[in-house]
Amino acid sequence: MNIPQQKVPRVVIVGCGFGGLQLAKSLKNAPVQVVLIDKNNYHTFQPLLYQVATAGLEADSIAYPIRKIFKGQTNFHFRWGEVQQIVADKNLLRTTVGDLPYDYLIIATGTTTNYFGNTAIEQHAMPMKSVTEALNLRSMILQNFEQALLSDNIKEQEALMTFAVVGGGPTGVELAGALCELKKHVLPNDYPELDFRKMRVLLIESGPEVLQAMSAPNQQKARTYLEELGCEVWLNTKVAGYDGSIVNFQDGKSLHTKNLLWAAGIKGVTIPGLNADALNNRGRYVIDEYCRVKRYENIYALGDVAAMSSEKFPNGHPQVAPVAIQMAELVARNIQKLLKQQTPDKFEYFDKGAMATVGRNRAVVEAFNIRFGGFAGWFVWMALHLMLLVGFRNKIVVFINWLWNYINYDRNIRLIIRPYQKA
């Protein structure tokens, strides 16, 4: 790989999610060469993918070119490619764009959709973990309404207009709420010939409540918000299979739908080459309190793909952006300490809280032992997401879109730019 050789240690970062992005930024003034490799040439603000999927935002509002982010950072180099293997005994990465030696390797590859080994669901359900998948979902939603217009079969119409969202975490809750708002405010104006009493939005959760990481009052509040919007919430319900038309459940029930949206689980994106015991049974790298991968002194993992076991978090920290960002800051600080032969710091997570939005004027927030929701929660949710977006243009574009949608009860980006076809 053609990267200038310098007389400073090389820090190679794999992945430009929240963790990789923060780490590269935090090493801006460090005496190291930073090389970041990613399969995309942009950073994606994943918390707003569901708004791309439901025609609230355009894809380029939540994505930002990596090279532009680091414009002016002289110790930074970016390469567009995929990592194929780690050769740890040679401090080497094998990639689709050539071999890449490293002094320090940081794995920040994030997660992908977990279908728990069910190949039928993997084949027929719609995930939403990337910009491409969000655009596919948007196209599929609109295409199914176009198809419903052409059908004179009532059962087929109902299946095309039934949306089953599997997974009651923040992604599932936010996606279900957005679909309900499309039903209530937007789609009836586009398709006046359709009877929207046939459109159903279901949120299907295998556990006893939605948003299980939150407190019981906020779980109940989120469920109430969903039901107020017209969402059917099915709890303690496990999906057994899906053939593209019929969802079968473990309790024997079934549901006829052409739209199974899968937000039920994630697993780490790992790279071949490390010892088998470097991974746990959840597909996450086992790391110590310094974020080093088990049995490796100069290989680190952070964010969603890493699992640091502690008394408070025996299965690893929550797979959320603040964990990745705080781990990245620690690793950047520790690399600089090691170069000075100083003692590195141990990681301690500062939990600032959690939040989820359930549509217009509806959100639940927990921060510093304070719980609130409604319009105040929704406003805080919007403000925080605007702050965290990368790029001034993106902040302005998203704000204007949200303001327009709020005033007009509309979503303008109902475009089938690239028709979706199931494999």
Q: What amino acid positions are annotated as catalytic residues?
A: 174
Instruction: Give dist(CA 69, CA 89) in Å, integer.
Output: 33
Contact indicator for 86, 282 with CB cutoff of 8 Å: no
Listed in order, strand segments (DSSP E) in 277-369 are 285-286, 299-301, 306-307, 354-357, 363-367
Q: Where are the alpha helices (DSSP H) in 208-340?
A: 216-228, 321-339
First and final CA of the chain: distance in angstroms?
34
Instruction: Give dist(CA 11, CA 104) in Å, integer.
Output: 5
Contact indicator for 386, 398 with CB cutoff of 8 Å: yes
Contact indicator for 302, 19 with CB cutoff of 8 Å: yes
Kindly report the length of the chain: 423
What does the block give as tokens for 221?
């509040």
Instruction: Give dist(CA 116, CA 241) in Å, integer.
Output: 11
Greatest alpha-carbon span in the chain = 74
Nearest to 421 by CA among 91, 96, 144: 144
Is residue 370 exposed (0-12), middle (13-18) or buried (19+ Cβ within 10 Å)? Answer: exposed
